[in-house]
Amino acid sequence: MEIKILGSGCAKCNRLEQLTREAVAELGIEARFEHVRDMAQIMAYPVMTTPALVIDESVKVSGRIPSKDELLGWLSSAA
């Protein structure tokens, strides 16, 4: 599974990455993480605001930090 966090590296972006890593560990699944900070790369995705979470090239959320339950659901169905 490939997970991308889209964002400049602000506190919300870092929090999204931390929560996502915790959810991956809780589920015991393997995932590669990439924090995309380059604005040109971010704009290649259909997101208007950051932070954004992309799982296997599918944008799951942008502009907010999802709940842990939302993260677990997305990760479970993608695994």
Cα angle: 68, vertex 70, 71; to 5 degrees: 65
Q: Is residue 79 over pLDDT 90?
A: no
Annotated catalytic residue: which of 1, 2, 9, 10? 10
Annotation says 33 is catalytic: no
Quick one: 53 exposed, middle or buried, by C-beta within 10 A (0-12, 13-18, 19+)?
buried
Is a pLDDT exceeding 90 seen at residue 78?
Answer: no
**Is 66 among the residues known to form the active site?**
no
Residues 46, 69, 74, 19, CA torsion sign: positive
**2-78 under CATH 3.30.565.10, yes or no:** no
Catalytic residue, candidates 3, 5, 6, 13: 13
The residue extents of the domains of the chain are 2-78
Q: What is the pLDDT of residue 24?
A: 97
pLDDT in tens, 12-61: 999 999 999 999 999 999 999 999 999 999 999 999 999 999 999 999 99
